[in-house]
Amino acid sequence: MAGGLPVILLDTCGLLALQTGGEALSETARAQLEAPGSEVFVSAISAFEIGQKHGAGKLILQQPPGVWFFAMLQHHQLVELPVTARICAAATALPAIHKDPFDRIIIATALEKHLVILTSDKTIPTYPGIRVLW
């Protein structure tokens, strides 16, 4: 933790919430994201999910998905975390609570890196050892 603040991993809905200025987030979540010294990460799997949603017409972006993703990283000073074989294996070993493979990768990443997930997803916090913020 940076200065006592939780180290945060945005899930894809958290990343999308930043695009709109974080209005959907709680005051606590916004304060922790904006706190000096806060560390905020995003999984590379979110780039894939954004591209999939955009390609299926479920997400409208003003830029191509790859351009949008890297612009978000830069603008919000987010750190990209890679999807490793260890994370993929851990995601397959998770209890079958959540069926979404993107979220399972994010859950496994949070467990491996000891991160708090910024998410509105109601299923993610049911996993043992997962801490969430919204």
What is the C-alpha to C-alpha distance for residues 74 and 64, in angstroms, rounded to an integer?
16
Which pLDDT does position 127 carry in this prediction?
96
Which pLDDT does position 3 carry in this prediction?
55
Which pLDDT does position 10 carry in this prediction?
97
Mean pLDDT for 86-113 is 96
Residue 124, pLDDT > 70, answer yes
Mean pLDDT of all residues belonging to the chain: 93
How does residue 120 score in pLDDT terms, banded at 50, 70 and 90?
Answer: very high
Which pLDDT does position 98 carry in this prediction?
86
pLDDT digits (tens, 9 = 90+) for 7-43: 999 999 999 999 888 888 999 999 989 888 889 999 9
Instruction: Enter the pTM of the model.
Output: 0.91
How does residue 4 score in pLDDT terms, banded at 50, 70 and 90?
Answer: low
Domains of the chain: 8-133 (3.40.50.1010)
Of 50, 10, 12, 3, nearest to 30 by C-alpha is: 10
pLDDT digits (tens, 9 = 90+) for 55-95: 999 999 999 999 999 999 999 999 999 999 999 999 999 99
**Cβ proximity of 8 and 41 under 8 Å:** yes
> What tokens were used for 60?
């409208």
Which residues lie below 8 Å from residue 57, measured CB to CB, with a gap of 6+? Answer: none
Strands (DSSP E) contained in the chain are: 8-10, 40-43, 79-81, 116-118, 132-133
